[in-house]
A and B are shown apart, each in its own frame.
Chain A
Amino acid sequence: MHDHNHHHGDTPDYADLSVPERELRPLDVSRRRFLRNAGLLGATVAGAGALSAGTASANPGWDSPGRYQWLSGDHHIHTQYSNDAMYTVEQQVAGGVRNGLDWMVITDHGYLAHEKYAVQQTYADVLKARQKHRGLLLWQGLEWNTPAAEHATVFFDCSRDEAHMLQTFEQLFDGNVNGTNPSSPANELIAVQGLRWLDAQVRAGKINSALFLANHPSRNGRLSPHELRNWRDVAPHIAVGMEGSPGAQADSTPTALGGNGAARGGYSNSPGVDSWPGYPLELYRTHGGFDWMTAKLGGLWDSMLAEGRGWWITSNSDSHRNFGDTLTSPSPDADYSATGKHLDPVDSGVKHSWADFWPGQYSRTVVGATDRSYRAVMDGIRNGRVWVAMGGLLAGLEVTVFSDEGGWPVTLGGRTTVRRGGNVTILVVARLATRPNAGGSVPKLARMDLIQGQVTGPVTDRDTFATPDVRVVQSFETRRGFVPVAVFQHTFRNVCDPFYLRLRGTDGNFHATGSLEPRMDPAGGVDPWSDLWTYSNPVFVDVVR
């Protein structure tokens, strides 16, 4: 914190050149540019604009992991205000707090009755929950039926009219509300218009900022690579990423353990009417619980990172009904359409084999935030300062990347520069689990893989979903020492071309045959606690000649 001047003295962030431009809201970027053009500010800030806020622009300031509070959260949670869920807001919030979360986003489904009746009721409950849980950051967002595409989390930084703005957005752009769900170029355009509209509201100061993250991106194979790229490019400070692993991870719990014996994430589909025809069939299943777009080495996520631009991953619960819970909804689904709300759940006395975990119980998204505030968590997500883990596989992950160029080190989501032929070192401090997870065991990190991908620039075919130059450069076996910390280090020597690096860790229980890669999750039951993975977002390395 010592080198960072957020809220220090009277200097606003936009006039404080130690605050990187990518952390500013678009309005403040305009202010900074105005001052700079007027000669009132030094010209030392790297020249990325507001619209590259999510693209890991050069960072002139101290960016080591110790500068941040790493706050655990979940941006994909349903309540009784979803047509297909049942918990009260308070029940979900209490569940998340019980499971150690610092922040949560309520994301009920876009739906006619939701837009008409539920948004304002939810807001009242969210305000009550904020009063009750003082340490918690709680947003009301929306699970947007993105026209022509999949579901996505959309949420705004707190402002005067956040619920009203959310309702307006849903009314104008939700695929369920407007019948624009089918995949078509016309509906794709409506999705882009939705993001443009959000961008315009931020620029007009109606909302402070907004985030968009694609949920369960591969579940129906309908989210094409060009749609992801279009969203990223039209609103890079809003559309910043996707779920690396879907929720509903309890769905695969074997029947012998009281589960459904179905598929992790509910990923049991095959190509359907809206599916993008170019994908391989492997996409329709999870791999070590992660979505194929993220799990496939050199796959879609890597192909986007190879463009040299940020695209970040998260992990969430997608909680509708939680595994082993005895609560059940007393109201039939038909009631929802009339009220936008299911009656409070009642105790059935029977444990149900439901597909979801409580928020924070299994999956978590850990965000590096400059302070415990709404804005700081959103900035952390926007800048990719995020790692994710299942089943408490890691208690902490501190990543520092140094260039021998000197200058400040950077951490996840950051970008550093090295002179051609120079060296770049990554230092990883993995804090190992010491307490049992919610599955009842202390997870053991067996290995971490350091993955390097070459940055090759913008793709010519926007439906590209593979990139060749991605590999595991080093695998670190975890040796548990006297303290529950594993430290890894690697130096990239004689760096000639730009690249990114990212980390992936596992409990080592299951792999694809003969490889380090996650296996495709088999049908018919996987104990989700038996196959745990953790992923970090990337750090980019630029080369100057």
Chain B
Amino acid sequence: MERFVDVLESRVRGRGPVTLFTTDGGHRDRHEAEHFALELAPAATLLCTHVVREPSPHHAVSFELDAPTDFPTRSEREGGRAFRFPGQDALRGSLPVREVVASSAIDRVVGVGCTVTDDTVVDTRNYVRPVYADGLLTLHVTPAASGSVVPLEVEGGHVC
């Protein structure tokens, strides 16, 4: 855990001061919420969707900017799902956990149905969407047939 905290601090040091802003367009469809956020804040380096259960389940969005805006600020990241984040472009193909953590804003990689070490290979499938859990930007991974692990969130999941 200490290692993750070190990595997190070094990254925060490198990124300069940012503010998290939020807005709620009431989108039930997550893709639509993402497009909505990207149109509002094309310059943001970190954008998240957040599930809001009331009054009816939908998505709010949040985004980090280093300049003031008219949007309300947000302090709660927990549960947010980052669809754009620093270092995302580096997460292509297969790479070990230590490299995932070193080269992106992802703080930790957590195995679901498996355990991971720094050497575990993550097959990113070129689609990585970490979530804030326990205050850390977390990539959940599941076992894959090849012996590597893959992100829990699969592009275009079977939702019907």
Contacts and interface: CB of A to CB of B under 8 A. Distances in A.
B143 interface: yes
A274 B113 contact: no
Contacts of A526: 145
Given A220-B159, A263-B158, A284 B145 contact: no
A215 to B, nearest CB: 12
Contacts of B56: 182, 184
B117 to A, nearest CB: 14
A282 B140 CA distance: 11
Interface in B139-160: 140, 142-146, 150, 152-154, 157-160
Contacts of A277: 51, 53, 79
B28 interface: yes
Contacts of A220: 159
Contacts of B98: none
Interface string A521-545: 0111110000000000000000000
Contacts of B157: 268-270
A392 interface: no
Contacts of B58: 273
B100 to A, nearest CB: 17
Given A282-B112, A524-B144, A270 B160 contact: no
Contact of B112 (A182, A262, A274, A281): A281
Interface in A267-297: 267-275, 277, 280-282, 284-285
A184 B143 CA distance: 33
B57 A184 contact: yes
A217 B144 CA distance: 23
Given A184-B56, A274-B57, A522-B145, A282 B113 contact: yes
B114 interface: yes
Chain A contact residues: helix, strand, loop or mixed: loop
Contacts of A519: 113, 143
Assign chain B's interface to a size class: 20 to 34
Nearest to A280: B112
A229 to B, nearest CB: 20
A318 to B, nearest CB: 11
Given A84-B160, A182-B56, A183-B57, A273 B30 contact: yes
B145 A219 contact: no
Interface in A239-281: 251, 254, 262-263, 266-275, 277, 280-281
A274 B52 CA distance: 10
Nearest to B147: A522
Chain B contact residues: helix, strand, loop or mixed: loop
A273 B51 contact: yes
Given A182-B28, A182-B57, A270-B153, A525 B159 contact: no
A284 B113 CA distance: 11
A269 B143 contact: no
Given A182-B57, A281-B112, A522 B158 contact: no
Nearest to A281: B112
Nearest to A271: B51
A512 B111 CA distance: 14
A520 interface: yes
Contact of A269 (B28, B145, B159): B159
A274 B59 CA distance: 10
Residue of B59, B113, B143 contacting most chain A CB atoms (<10 Å): B113
B55 interface: yes
B145 A281 contact: no
B34 to A, nearest CB: 13
Given A270-B153, A280-B112, A523-B145, 13 more contacts: A84-B160, A183-B57, A263-B158, A269-B158, A269-B159, A271-B51, A273-B51, A274-B57, A284-B152, A512-B113, A520-B112, A520-B142, A523-B144
Interface of A: 84, 182-184, 219-220, 251, 254, 262-263, 266-275, 277, 280-282, 284-285, 512, 519-520, 522-526
A-B residue pairs, 6 tightest by C-beta:
A520-B113, A266-B158, A270-B153, A524-B145, A522-B143, A281-B112
29 contacts: A84-B160, A182-B56, A183-B53, A184-B56, A251-B158, A263-B154, A267-B158, A270-B140, A270-B152, A270-B153, A271-B51, A272-B159, A273-B58, A273-B59, A274-B57, A277-B53, A282-B113, A284-B152, A285-B112, A285-B113, A285-B142, A520-B112, A522-B143, A522-B144, A523-B143, A523-B150, A524-B123, A524-B144, A524-B146
